[in-house]
Structures are given as C-alpha cells and as structure tokens.
Chains A and B, each alone.
Chain A
Amino acid sequence: MRHILSILVENEAGALSRVAGLFSARGYNIETLTVAPTEDATMSRMTIVTTGSDEVVEQITKQLNKLVDVVKVVDLSEGKHIERELMLVKVRASGKDREEMKRTADIFRGRIIDVTDKSYTIELTGTTEKLDAFLEALDRAAILETVRTGVSGIGRGEWVLKA
C-alpha cells in the first residue's frame, strides 16, 4: 500500500542522508522525497511516499523515529490529508498542434510559463494521478522534457504537525 510520511527533522547537515540511508540500508522503497526548511528555520520537513505492507510501514515509522535528528514522524495516509505535486513539462507546440496543446493545458488548469516558436513549458500542480493523467492525455512524441517535485502533503482541517 502507498503511504505518505511527513517528517520533521533537525535542519542539520547530514539529516537527509540519515533518512535516505535508512531506506536503502533496510531495503525500503522511496517513490518520492521532498524536503525544505519550515517556518521554523531550525527544522526541515520531508514528505516521503513509500509503499509496503502495514508491517513494513510500521517498521519504517519506528526506524525513522529512532534517528536522533528526526523530531516527528506522521503517516498522513492514516487520516484525511491533501497531497500536491508540481510538474514542469516542456512540450512540442508548433503548427496545428500549438492551439490543441494550449487547450489541453487549460483543461488540466496548467499554466504556460515559457514560450518559444516551437515549444511551451507548462506548469501543473495536483495529485500524482492528475499529473499522470495530463501526461497520458498528451501525444508521447510531443513531450520533450518533464520534471516533477515529488509529493508534498499536509493534514486536513485544523490539525497541525508540530515539534
């Protein structure tokens, strides 16, 4: 099963490699990993999307909690949450396909953020499925380059993840 782990870590050199090293050393999967400092500059927040049985994810959570730099771990997928991912796609956009490409981007609420005679660069935010669906909707040959940030997640409602 897919799980989204939110992790608060000390903003220390090496904290990321401790977390990443844990996953590789114990054979756990990382599908996506994002990290950036929080409003409190002494801490960073990571979102890791992983897959595994309940037992494996329980072990992952326990092992993460054991890392001295980890302040808090929460499995967002256990409760109501919102997840978003940002994607930038450079597509071929010339001739008669140019208008069609813009329409498809509009349908997915994508924004064209860079333009040349022959290409568009489209910015798209949404769930992983939405970004996948957008790529599916495009002609494969039209895709020149994609870059995705990986998932960021947050709990719904007034609940907050704090140290």
Chain B
Amino acid sequence: MELQLPPMTETGETLTGAEVVIRSLVAEGVEHIFGYPGGAVLFIYDALAQQDKLKHILVRHEQGALHAADGYARATGKCGVALVTSGPGVTNAVTGIATAYMDSIPMVIISGQVPTRAIGEDAFQECDTVGITRPCVKHNFLVKDVNDLAVTIKKAFYVATTGRPGPVLVDVPKDVSMHTTRFHYPDKIHMRSYNPVVKGHAGQIKKAVQLLLHAQRPMVYAGGGAILGNASAEVADLVRLLGFPVTNTLMGLGAYPATDKQFVGMLGMHGTFEANMAMQNCDVLIAIGARFDDRVIGNPAHFSEGNPTRKIIHIDVDPSSISKRVKVDVPIVGHVKDVLHDLLALVRGTRERPEPAALAAWWSQIEAWRAKDCLKYNRKSDLIKPQYVVEKLWEITKGDAFITSDVGQHQMWAAQYYKFDKPRRWINSGGLGTMGVGLPYAMGVKLAFPDADVACITGESSIQMCIQELSTCKQYRLPVKVVNLNNRYMGMVRQWQEFFHGNRYSESYMDALPDFVKLAEAYGHVGMRVDKPGDVEGALREAFKLKDRLVFLDIITDQTENVFPMVPGGKGISEMILSEEL
C-alpha cells in the first residue's frame, strides 16, 4: 500500500515488536484491552506487564474478550481493543468479531500467530487467521516484518474508526513481536485505496429537503448509523423542526428519545403497530443510517409494491447499503451527522414548511394506530410477566441505565419496554443475533462507566453461553446486575415453533438448569430468586442498592408469554400478528 508518511511521532527508541504493539495502542489513546494470553502472544503479554498505561482485562474465554471490547466500544464510541493468541484463541474470537462486523462496531483485534518461518507448516496452534476472519472483518493484516508493525496498527485504527466502522484484525507472528525496530508512530495516514466519503452531495441534499417540505405523510426512520455517527442531536432537531413522526430500529434505539410524543416506537418484526403502519403508509420516508434489512421491513416486495408512490431519501456512509434491498429515490452518501447538518441548514434557511393540515391528518391517523395499544399485556396474571420486569427496571433505574441484552424474546421485550432516551444506552447484538453477548457487553460498559447503573437483561439459555465471565466480573469488581428472565425455554425458538411448527417444541426447552442463585454465589456474587409478581420491584430495588456487588436476579417468568406484535418471516411489515390481549 502506498503511504505518504507525514511528520511522525518519533521517539527514536529501539523497541521489540511486542513493545511496539503496546506503545502504538497507548498512542491511539487506548486505556483498556480485553484478552487472554497464550504461546504466540507471550512477548506482548511480557511487555504488557512492564508498563502501567494500558489496563488489561483477563476474560475467561476469548469470545468474552471480543464481546466486552465490543460493548465498551458501543457504549463509549471509542475503538474497542482485544488481544488473543493464535489458533484456538482466534477461532474462539471469531463469533465476537462477526458480531461486531454485522453491527459496524469499531474494533482492533491483535492476534498472535506462529513464527513467520513456521506459517503454513501446520504448526502447533496455527490457523489461517487472515483467511478465517476475512469475511467478518472490515479489513485484516498479517505483519511479516517488525518494521511495518506500527504503521499497520495505525492503519488498523484508521480503517476501523472511519467511514462505516468495523473490526480490523492485525495478525502478529511471534518472531515479529520478538524482533526489534526503531519505533515511529505516524500521526496521520493516507491510503490511496481507502477514502470514505464524509460530506453529502449538495444537490441531493437539496432534493431531499424539497421532498421533506412537500410531504403529506412523512416518516423518519433512524437506525444504528445515527448512533454510530453520533447524530442523535441532529435527528432530534430534524424531527422537531418539521413535526414529523420518528421510529428507531433495534440498533437505533436512543437515537431519538423514546419518551417523546413524536416517537412512535421501534419498527420491524417486533415493532409497534403504529411504527410499522406509518412506515408502510407514509409518502416520504427519510432513512438515516439504516439499511432496510429483513427484520425491519420484512418482505421488500411487499414494502415497495404495497406503496409504489412512496418517495425514499436514504442517508448512509456506506454506498452499498443504499438500494440493496429497496430502491431509493434520493440516495445521499455521507456521514449522517454531516449530511443532517447541511440538510438542517437548508430547512432552517427557508420559511417553507409542510402543509399543516396534511400533517395534522397524518398525525391523527398515527394516533388512531397508537390507540390500539399494541404493547398491552395481562397485568393481572399470577405469573411474572417479563414485560412487567422490564417496565419496573426502567422505573427503578429512572430510564437512565445502560442496558445490555442477549438474544431472543427478552431482547425484544427489553427493546419494547425500556424507553431509551439517550444514545449508546442500549447494547445488543442486532445483526448477527449472538446469544451470550449480554454479560460480557455489561462488563465492557461497566468498565467504561463505573458509576453508572448497568443491567444485563438475559434469559436462562443465553446467559449460559458466556456465564464463565461471572469470574471476570469478580476479579475486576464489575457490579453489574443480571436480570435473568427465566422461562425455562429458548423462548423465541419456542414462539416460532408454536406459531409455525405445530407446537412441536423440538429441543427448545431448557432442562437441568443450574440453581442460578447458588451459581452466582459460587462465583462470589449475590444471587436472588424471584417467583412472584409482587416481589419483582422489591428485588430490583434491593439489587440496585447493592452498589458494589454483582447481583444475579433469577426471575421465574410466564413460560407461555410471546412477543407481540410479530411480523412472520417473509410477510410485509403491515401484516402483524397482534397480542390476544387486544
């Protein structure tokens, strides 16, 4: 790769590759790295032990390291960093890398590799790391010469954090970490083959403004890109300035305050009735850092053909996200924050506003949909309703906690019932849908925000996929609260089996569950079991009072509860199954 090397931070010191890794990370402003040692990274761990700028968090499984670094990145907006050894260290990390990749999370992964002379000889703990991770990283590098190491790490951070963010892996053979070089860390880097667009096209933005100002039934649809691009203030400005309804995707929750009247709820497979109906029936749609994926708009043909006159504006930093599943009318490639800034300037510069009567009629239609109260559930049950637990959690934490989740029904209930008013408070695996992320995500978040309330909403199936990290939480005193919605089923699998597979609950029940209270205690934490609705609130309050303890709340919930509304796979988003309560 051609490099124009501008003035460098030259210390003139001779360092080993291992020291170069550490010093480069420090130069990037990294404070925490998550990892697990092994043969190929022994020199790097040796260098780590001889400095005090970088704090290393020793996880119990490499997957936990990746998820923790990922959660840290999601909550802070900084680049997450993980360090793993060769072979199984890398293969264990792959799930975490793929999870971050699907949700465009900036991460740098340093992996050890067998010595360069042994590569290709099926050496002990050797694997083709660059090959295995290629389809699930934004980019990766194998460093064969210690003199290239610092510049490669610089490139890794640059690529990971700019444009559409994503994980970048740097594979460092053991001999490279042992050899010495003069340490130079470049301040800036230029790569001729990588130039992400920032500013949106002025003409396109003008067209978008015209569409918005003449909309009769407008809709704002903001996704994870609005969070990643730190554009929630701009999203809110646009929505308020024009008086438009707004929905957020699962990844976009918090981009617009959920308690605000103009928010119509999350959309998609388990979105609200009003959000999905408005999405389907609007005449001008502005998509902001969202990608019209299958869990959001369902069947793309139904979405397009059901409303062929709908005009779509799509702002995204990644051109390949535009017109991938749905053809759009006004594509705008650029950083969402910059594009919205320019767009807002045009809106503010004109007195023209959308026709008030049309907008009022549209809002009354939306209010009629909203009146259906699609998230209603049975509040008189003798069993604990999972929705109730999330509502209480929201109340007790004053809606201001960081909430991580695993994947399944509990994830959807968390998304529906915890009203996120701020960005980066909702940490979940949306794209890959990785069970097991919740606890390590919470670790990463708590490390970044030690004084904040951090709760992991999980289920008895998901939590067991990374439960070993309870040990890490003990070691580093990470007092997160685990809210285990225990329904003795892989709830979402069971729900699909109930709806689409004739109630045959094939392998979806969780038998032989551990006693989670004792398990938590065995790891040195506090365990609580709650099985009556009346005890939920008290237990939650008690858990959050124990500021410096990890509390594992094992909450025995209604086994038969389903997530509603639901758009069955392959259906259009307006074809929802609603709760029997309605």
Contact of B2 among A18, A21, A42 (CB under 8 A): A42
The answer to the question of B464 belonging to the interface, with a C-beta cut-off of 8 Å to chain A, is no
Residues on B with C-beta less than 8 A from A71 are 192-193
Decide if A163 touches B192 in the complex (CB within 8 Å).
yes
Interface string of A1-23 (1 = CB under 8 A from B): 00000000110111001100100
Decide if B192 touches A63 in the complex (CB within 8 Å).
no
Residues on B with C-beta less than 8 A from A141 are none
Q: Quick one: which of A43-63 are within 8 Å of B by CB? A: 55, 58-59, 62-63
Question: A11: nearest residue on chain B (CB-CB)?
Answer: B1
Residues on A with C-beta less than 8 A from B327 are 55
Decide if A62 touches B320 in the complex (CB within 8 Å).
yes
Decide if A68 touches B194 in the complex (CB within 8 Å).
yes
Residues on B with C-beta less than 8 A from A107 are none
> Given A68-B193, A71-B193, are A59 and B320 neighbors across the interface (CB < 8 Å)?
yes
Q: Which stretch of B133-141, B286-294, B352-360 is in the interface?
A: B133-141
Question: B333: nearest residue on chain A (CB-CB)?
Answer: A62
Decide if A13 touches B194 in the complex (CB within 8 Å).
no
Decide if A69 touches B193 in the complex (CB within 8 Å).
yes
> Given A25-B135, A68-B159, are A13 and B142 neighbors across the interface (CB < 8 Å)?
yes
Decide if A66 touches B2 in the complex (CB within 8 Å).
no
Instruction: State A68–B140 Cα separation when bound (angstroms).
Output: 9
Q: Quick one: which of B112-149 are within 8 Å of A by CB? A: 130-131, 134-135, 138-139, 142
The answer to the question of B319 belonging to the interface, with a C-beta cut-off of 8 Å to chain A, is yes
Q: Quick one: which of B1-49 are within 8 Å of A by CB? A: 1-2
Decide if B320 touches A63 in the complex (CB within 8 Å).
yes
The answer to the question of B376 belonging to the interface, with a C-beta cut-off of 8 Å to chain A, is no
Decide if A62 touches B134 in the complex (CB within 8 Å).
no
Residues on B with C-beta less than 8 A from A21 are 134-135
Decide if B320 touches A12 in the complex (CB within 8 Å).
no
Contact of A18 among B134, B159, B192, B319 (CB under 8 A): B134
The answer to the question of A65 belonging to the interface, with a C-beta cut-off of 8 Å to chain B, is yes
Residues on B with C-beta less than 8 A from A12 are 1
Count residues on chain A whose CB falls below 8 Å from chain B CBs. Answer: 22
Contact of B193 among A10, A17, A55 (CB under 8 A): A10
Within the complex, the shortest CB–CB distance from A10 to chain B, in Å, comes to 5
Residues on A with C-beta less than 8 A from B324 are 59
Decide if B323 touches A55 in the complex (CB within 8 Å).
yes
Instruction: State A25–B159 Cα separation when bound (angstroms).
Output: 22
Instruction: State A71–B194 Cα separation when bound (angstroms).
Output: 7
Decide if B134 touches A14 in the complex (CB within 8 Å).
yes
The answer to the question of A87 belonging to the interface, with a C-beta cut-off of 8 Å to chain B, is no
Within the complex, the shortest CB–CB distance from A145 to chain B, in Å, comes to 31
Residues on B with C-beta less than 8 A from A25 are 135
Residues on B with C-beta less than 8 A from A55 are 323, 327
Q: Quick one: which of B286-321 are within 8 Å of A by CB? A: 318-320
Q: Quick one: which of B190-213 are within 8 Å of A by CB? A: 191-194
Decide if A10 touches B1 in the complex (CB within 8 Å).
yes
Residues on B with C-beta less than 8 A from A93 are none
Interface string of A53-91 (1 = CB under 8 A from B): 001001100110110111100000000000000000000
Within the complex, the shortest CB–CB distance from A40 to chain B, in Å, comes to 9
Interface string of A100-121 (1 = CB under 8 A from B): 0000000000000000000000
> Given A14-B130, A18-B134, A62-B320, are A70 and B193 neighbors across the interface (CB < 8 Å)?
yes
Decide if A66 touches B318 in the complex (CB within 8 Å).
yes
Within the complex, the shortest CB–CB distance from B114 to chain A, in Å, comes to 16
Decide if B319 touches A65 in the complex (CB within 8 Å).
yes
Instruction: State A69–B194 Cα separation when bound (angstroms).
Output: 8
Within the complex, the shortest CB–CB distance from A16 to chain B, in Å, comes to 12
Interface string of A126-148 (1 = CB under 8 A from B): 00000000000000000000000
Within the complex, the shortest CB–CB distance from A19 to chain B, in Å, comes to 11
Instruction: State A13–B1 Cα separation when bound (angstroms).
Output: 11
Within the complex, the shortest CB–CB distance from A130 to chain B, in Å, comes to 35
Question: B320: nearest residue on chain A (CB-CB)?
Answer: A62
Residues on A with C-beta less than 8 A from B320 are 59, 62-63, 65-66
Within the complex, the shortest CB–CB distance from A75 to chain B, in Å, comes to 15
Residues on B with C-beta less than 8 A from A9 are 193
Within the complex, the shortest CB–CB distance from B316 to chain A, in Å, comes to 11
Instruction: State A58–B327 Cα separation when bound (angstroms).
Output: 12
**Other CB < 8 Å A-B pairs besides A63-B320, A163-B192, 19 of them?**
A12-B1, A14-B134, A14-B142, A17-B131, A21-B134, A25-B135, A42-B2, A55-B323, A58-B323, A62-B320, A65-B319, A66-B320, A68-B138, A68-B159, A68-B191, A68-B193, A69-B1, A69-B139, A70-B193
Q: Can you list 23 contacts pairing A with B, beta carbon distance less than 8 Å?
A: A9-B193, A10-B1, A10-B193, A14-B130, A14-B142, A21-B135, A42-B1, A42-B2, A55-B323, A58-B323, A59-B320, A59-B324, A65-B319, A65-B320, A66-B319, A66-B320, A68-B138, A68-B139, A68-B191, A68-B193, A69-B193, A71-B192, A163-B192
List chain B positions with a Cβ less than 8 A from chain A: 1-2, 130-131, 134-135, 138-139, 142, 159, 191-194, 318-320, 323-324, 327
